[in-house]
Amino acid sequence: MRSRYGRLVLAVAFVLVAALGAWQGRRVTRLREAEAFYRWMLAAAVDERLFQDTSSEYLDRELLETCNRLAAAAPETAQLEADQAAMPITALAKDLKNDEAIWSLASGTALASARGQFLDAARRGKLQFARSIGYLEAQEGNVGIFSLFFGFRKVAANWLWIQVDRYWHRG
């Protein structure tokens, strides 16, 4: 009887920990996607303001226009003047004080549909400024026993090389 009760408690604890781990993993994934979207919004807004690249090969310009249209109705852009209201993300990206408002837009629900479009276009390689954002590619890789083992081997080999190099230079 006692063994059965112990197994039940262990099973419930395992299910609870697995559920919490899944929830936390989903939350971290969402934060990484929001950060990649935030970085892209800043890069695209600066490019729009300074260079105004009109290349049709990438979807950056169209997606930024969609983001600006959706952000115009968001409360984070209410303080903008009338001439800046047409391009709120570009206007907000001009000043470092507005980073919190841009993060709120990138991680909030106001631009959720645009964030989904961003993730899809970035995975397909259709965005010019998402190529240097490594989070999207890093999320697709799996961590397993194989990669942990070879990662440890690499660390051990580097440590060994440092030790050999140190003794070599001592003479």
pTM, full prediction: 0.64
Distance CA 120, CA 116 (A): 6
Written as one letter, the residue type at 134 is G
Whether residue 87 has pLDDT greater than 80: no
How does residue 121 score in pLDDT terms, banded at 50, 70 and 90? Answer: confident
**Domain ranges (residues) in the chain:** 32-140, 145-171
- More confidently predicted of 136 and 88: 88
Q: Under a CB-based contact definition with an 8 Å cutoff, are residues 117 and 130 in contact?
A: no
